[in-house]
Homo-oligomer: A and B are copies of this chain.
């Protein structure tokens, strides 16, 4: 197996001022090709440390990807360090200079001295095109290791990795290796619960199909991967089996989330949605309107935080508020009914609960919430109990509301697992 290692450089990575997401992207992209990164080293902008690490890592790995330190300032030391580690001189690289010049010309910028520094590279290195930024990448072979140098700007790095580096790495791999991945997203089941369901239903999981889970809060991503072309057909078969087992839990395949799925369903059914929110305070409306094109299915949302406003805007009954309290089945029923009436929407969701940290009681502790969903003549309700930090509670409940609406529109009859697990028992 190919030994690939990463060297990340930048003072901001050492100080904790930024989270390293570049190496996460590289590791994920390589994993989808069937390659595990074996080691990752991070150092600040320090020439001695960089030279030392380039020498060590290149002696050990087949491929070394260096990220960062290609910019125009004196802190950017990668070219210098790679030259020193390789015993090469630095010189202005004609191809790199031409790329920089073209980049500046396109933007009507003058080519400044600091920019020009980005073309001073180890003699004999190969240039990696950077179509969207000024710093060219470059590569050379050191200690029989193929060393790639990439910029720290995430979108520039990503484009270089996808367009130039992964294809080059692929040529080093056995011919019959060819990765294919299917992703499914589910809501309301944890990793261990999901693994248990799959284990119960499938006892003969094949070794040549990788099954992985990744939290993509509040969803969970299920990933199936085959690493060889000869297994691609099998991948389809096992993906279908997993899909038939997870069935109504599946929110979407590939990219997306509950909001994008819900907007798609509403569009295809030609229906409009409204929201009446108390404890989620606009989060459901905000999730839906984060989707491009949501204006076709969403006209009105109500954030009715106080009892007075619930009465005034949504015609919730004053006596019921007094007897049952704002967090009650009757109130979410009336909130939804009122919102459907006022907005004229076809379907809707409403929520009222105690997000905390204050406002709980013995009978209705923090984490208690009532939800209603459906259409004018078909309103469903449920009470859930989901104690947790305020924002965590709000996010989970907003997503539960979206999921209940998704299941309603698709005519699903199965009771979701989170209702079974989170329903309040009295």
Q: Which residues of A contact B (CB under 8 A)?
A: 13-21, 23-29, 31, 36-44, 46, 49, 53, 212, 214-215, 275, 277, 279-286, 288-290, 292-295, 298-306, 308-309, 312-313, 342-343, 356-359, 390-391, 394
Residues in B whose Cβ lies below 8 Å from that of A356: 292
Contact between A309 and B303 (Cβ–Cβ < 8 Å)? Answer: no
Contact between B41 and A39 (Cβ–Cβ < 8 Å)? Answer: yes
The distance in angstroms between the C-alpha atoms of A289 and B356, with both chains bound, is 11
Contact between B15 and A28 (Cβ–Cβ < 8 Å)? Answer: yes
Residues in B whose Cβ lies below 8 Å from that of A44: 36, 38
Shortest Cβ distance from A276 into chain B, in angstroms?
A: 10
Contact between B305 and A301 (Cβ–Cβ < 8 Å)? Answer: yes
Contact between B41 and A40 (Cβ–Cβ < 8 Å)? Answer: yes
20 pairs, CB–CB < 8 Å, chain A vs chain B? A15-B27, A16-B24, A16-B27, A19-B24, A20-B24, A36-B44, A38-B46, A41-B42, A275-B303, A281-B286, A281-B288, A282-B285, A282-B286, A282-B303, A290-B390, A292-B390, A300-B302, A300-B304, A300-B313, A302-B302
Contact between B394 and A290 (Cβ–Cβ < 8 Å)? Answer: yes
Residues in B whose Cβ lies below 8 Å from that of A46: 38
- Assembly of this chain: how many copies? 2
Residues in B whose Cβ lies below 8 Å from that of A24: 16, 18-20
Contact between A14 and B38 (Cβ–Cβ < 8 Å)? Answer: yes
Residues in B whose Cβ lies below 8 Å from that of A280: 286, 289
Contact between A49 and B38 (Cβ–Cβ < 8 Å)? Answer: yes
What 10 A-B pairs have minimum CB-CB distances, sorted nearest first? Answer: A281-B289, A301-B303, A282-B285, A16-B27, A282-B282, A16-B28, A282-B286, A299-B306, A40-B42, A300-B309
Contact between B25 and A16 (Cβ–Cβ < 8 Å)? Answer: yes
Among candidates B16, B17, B23, B282, residue contacting A289 with C-beta atoms closer than 8 Å:
B282
Residues in B whose Cβ lies below 8 Å from that of A282: 275, 277, 282-286, 289, 301, 303
